[in-house]
Amino acid sequence: MFKKVLIANRGEIAVRIIRACRELGIQTVAVYSEADRRALHVRYADEAYLLGPAPSRESYLRADKILDVARKSEADAIHPGYGFLAERDDFAAMCEEAGIAFIGPKASSIAAMGDKMEARATVIAAGVPVVPGTEDVGNLSNEELLAKAYQIGFPLLIKATAGGGGKGMREVKSLEEMPQLLLSARREAESAFGDGNVYLEKLVEGARHIEFQILADKHGNAIYLGERECSLQRRHQKLLEEAPSAALDEELRAAMGTVAVKAAQAVDYVNAGTIEFLLDKENNYYFLEMNTRLQVEHPVTEMVTGIDIVKEQIRIARGRNLTYQQADVKFNGHAIECRINAEDPYNNFLPSTGTITHSLLPTGPGVRVDTGVYPGFEITPYYDPMIAKLIVWGETR
């Protein structure tokens, strides 16, 4: 049993993890930057420790400082949330070496699925269908990528091997424009992830973005909690997610869910994760990538299954068996999540900063708001502009 969990994150996800810990009777430790001194997660936690200056590279990305706080506070586990250090295999390994439980997958699984090209090679070997692209594991030069583009065909996507969230991604319509797009994709990937390596993938036009939530314990049990429809995006970043998808029937859901579990088992996966697929107009589905962490949109799955995914993460990390078997997972009604972003719609939706002067949150049956802000809280330019999530449930879509 964990007595104390450190949350290595901020904002709404830190508040949400604190809530789960509190309901399980576990004490919580918050960490914060100078810009987040008055943040909600700092107020809610049992203890809070300053990490450093506002920029994330000097605070929330400082694994050494976070582990120092964990030792000082005598926390026996760390939950990384999403973003920051959540998909860093070296951080998971450092936690293990320090004798502190990492509430997430093993470092080897994060490494295997974190490099998108290695992930493709791994699931191909396990018989999972993937979008046609560059299957080679390793760094390919621009010349090699240009040569392979002919074989794949246009349109195609340049994608960062270490990335996500649309960073380092470019759509290519012709060979003529590709050299310049390769350079800009590599630059952006290097800036965002410290790794400028990219690979190519066929652009499946008109495809839906469908992801399956999976849970796996340390005893070989793995299940899927249904799917989420994440097709409504802007600049390759999700804006609205729902569960279940209107495009899937029971037969297709079972087939894709079984493949999702198979992909996770290919890397001996433990804890919560998400297998992302593209679904074309003929209902052919292709493995896209695996997110080796909790997803921003996990609440829609919680709303339709009644399963608290964060509590399950904590139980799994403690070495417990999964609370549920596949036959126990039932779907009830329909849920939709809207991301609430601090952006300026009159300036191409660029992040907007300032002080929140007024906040009126919706309430009532079937309404959930996950947030980390309140009236008087200052939105700074240092972090992601998503400040809250509105999740709603109904009997039907």
Q: Which residues are catalytic?
A: 293
Contact 373, 379 (CB under 8 A): yes
DSSP for 340-395 reads EE-EETTTTTEE--EE--------STTEEEEES--TTPEEPTTS-SEEEEEEEEES
SS3 assignment, position 135 = coil
CA angle (382 as vertex; 376, 384 as ends), nearest 5: 85
Name the nearest CA neighbour of 68 among 8, 28, 20. 8
> Rg of the chain over CA atoms, in angstroms?
21
Residue 249: partners with Cβ closer than 8 Å, 6 or more residues away: none
From CA 3, how far away is CA 148, in angstroms rounded?
Answer: 53
